[in-house]
Amino acid sequence: MQVLFDPKELTFKDLIRHYLTEFKPQRYSTESTSQYRAAIFYQDEQQKREAADVLSSLGYSQEAAKSLLEPAKVFYAAEQYHQNYYGKFTAGAGNK
């Protein structure tokens, strides 16, 4: 998922902190090439340092931080039926 944000409204550190408090990512050696793996993609070295700082402040080891941080590459939007997945998932949960 790609998240666009206005750094005047929300800092990158705050965005990463919020992400990490809502979702506890873990990486395993078998996930190194999976398209579904947990990762934090950074645009530049400053974002990489900021994300690593947040990971450290939340108790992630250097090794865990290293495995979660990756440079951003070309982003491809998912097919239409995958869009708003969370909204579709939570809307369906209320109908059960």
Residue ranges of domains in the chain = 12-93
Q: Which residue has the higher pLDDT, 43 or 29?
A: 43
The pTM assigned to this predicted structure is 0.69
Fold of 12-93: Peptide Methionine Sulfoxide Reductase; Chain A (3.30.1060)
Checking if the pLDDT of 96 tops 50, the result is no
Compute the mean pLDDT over every residue in the chain, rounded to the nearest whole number.
Answer: 81
Percent of the chain topping pLDDT 70: 77
The first and second tokens of residue 42, run together, are 């950074």
**d(C-alpha 28, C-alpha 75), whole Å:** 23
Task: Convert the pLDDT of each residue in 47-85 to its tens digit.
Answer: 999 999 999 999 988 888 888 899 999 888 778 877 776
